[in-house]
Amino acid sequence: MNSVSPSAVQYIVGGGAHEDRPSAQSRRHNGHGSAPDGLREGSGEPDEVDRLKAKFMSAWNNVKYGWTVKSKTTFNKTSPLILLGQSYLFNSEDEVDRFRQAFVSCVWLTYRREFPQLEGSSLTTDCGWGCMLRSGQMLLAQGLLQHLMPPDWRWADCHPLTDVDFEVLKPRSPSRPAGMSLPSFSSSWTNPISQRDPSSGSSEDHRRTPARCPAASHEPQLEALHRKVVSWFGDHPSAPFGVHQLVELGKESGKRAGDWYGPSVVAHMLRKAVARTTEFHNLAVYVAQDCTVYKGDVMKLCESPLTQGLSESWKSVIILVPVRLGGESLNPSYIECVKNILKLKCCIGIIGGKPKHSLFFIGFQDEQLLYLDPHYCQPVVDVTQGNFSLESFHCNSPRKMNFSRMDPSCTIGFYAQTKRDFESLCSAVSEALSSSKEKYPIFTFVEGRGQNYGLEGQSGGSMDGPANIFSCNRMSRNNKRGSTDEFVLL
């Protein structure tokens, strides 16, 4: 049934904007609503009717998100494309191949089906409700790759790009719609034969040996580490950053399997997951409070309790900043600022999306965002097997969307390996934030600690609930809450 290439990631349901987010009526009691999760109201155990409902909804979502239709993405050969702080200009085959290696090496995490049942429900899939969890997983995975792998690491088995075209796009003119282009040039940079369906593991395409990246690392130790990072996001209860673990952490914030998770809630869930894992002890996650990164809190979080003040004791840090870039839609004044943030090498992406449709943004070209889309349902992969397939965890079909379609609710991620990197990050991000046409920046860096400003605890420490996201204009708060993620509007 899933015979169409998954790489298109364009959906026949609702013209591409599916009903992932519940209606306002269904959000009345839990803030964001829930899909049927097999739990009777007020009870911790599913009854038979709820089990049947959950099975029906799971089956429907598996079909709904298991279909894709082919659609080409066009890239401008004369404009630079930014991907995770790196710039690419598609004026040569070598440059396109450099982009291909970088894009395909990103970890792609999507809906899965037939995984072990989530505790307290009868769900065995996250189709239809887990897209924000998957976007958050992708951001954390990118941070871990930067933390553990060499800067120039590329997956050795990355596939050719599919469903893409490279053209010379003319500037917009009054007589011609934007985006109309000159005829495309023939190119050997893509290979449509490489399209594959991860669900059809026995197909010839799936068994075909992928083209190996010439510049990619073939070191067995790095490939083993790459596989280990992917396994941490496996759909198994023991995986430290898998859906099972994140759903358990979400219960502390009043969430349960089947609920919609907003970007700020997911940020705190990722923080808790990293804090509780035993996989490594030299990485911390800090979540900004009230549109503010308190430098003192980051310093305290990253310095070892035994040897605070010594540079060699510094923990690397992932900084997550939940923000809201407008009211019901994106404020155009912030577009240039978002672009400048994505140009920074310390930026590891943005979890957000378009209305009712979570995406993971990793770059842009001209007025369009580059993203990875979790809305494709694939069979579960047993990551406990030593040599599990990595193909379904990497996407070879890049997709773009216009900035104007971006949902204003999002979380921006950054990574700093050393104390000096953190100081450089503060300087570079502050400069990028100053490019906004708005009087007040998206967020700020402040000396000292949050408790000095009347805030209890720190976002990297003991605070369990999601922080409220306030306007950075402290003097003109309008105290209006956003409808989706506990925001006061900027």
Please list the active-site residues.
131, 373, 375
Backbone Cα Rg of the chain: 22
Task: Retrieve residue 76's tokens.
Answer: 């401008």
DSSP string, 423-453: HHHHHHHHHHHTT-SSSS-S-EEESS-GGGG
Which residue has 């920046």 as its token pair?
441
Reference 55, options 33, 34, 36; nearest CA is 36
CA–CA gap between residue 6 and residue 43 (Å, rounded): 38
Measured CA to CA in angstroms, residue 466 lies from 92, 175, 246, 269, 460 at distances of 46, 49, 14, 9, 12
Residue 222 makes CB contacts below 8 A (sequence gap 6+) with: 149, 150, 153
The number of helix segments (H) and strand segments (E) in the chain equals 10, 15
Instruction: List the beta bridge partners of residue 164.
Output: 73
Task: Retrieve residue 202's tokens.
Answer: 């026995």
As to burial, measured by CB atoms within 10 angstroms (0-12 exposed, 13-18 middle, 19+ buried), residue 121 is buried
Contact of 411 with 319, CB cutoff 8 Å: no
Contact of 409 with 481, CB cutoff 8 Å: no
CA–CA gap between residue 330 and residue 218 (Å, rounded): 43
Task: Retrieve residue 377's tokens.
Answer: 């349902």
Q: What element of type H or E holds 250? A: helix 243-250
For residues 274-287, one letter each, b for 16 or more C-beta atoms within 10 angstroms of the residue's C-beta and e for the rest, the string is: beeeeeeeebbbbb
Tell me how far the alpha carbon of residue 80 is from its chain's centroid.
22
Residue 52 makes CB contacts below 8 A (sequence gap 6+) with: none
Q: What element of type H or E holds 288? A: none
Residue 48 makes CB contacts below 8 A (sequence gap 6+) with: none
Ordered alpha helix ranges (H), 26-130 = 48-64, 93-105
Reference 128, options 55, 62, 31; nearest CA is 62
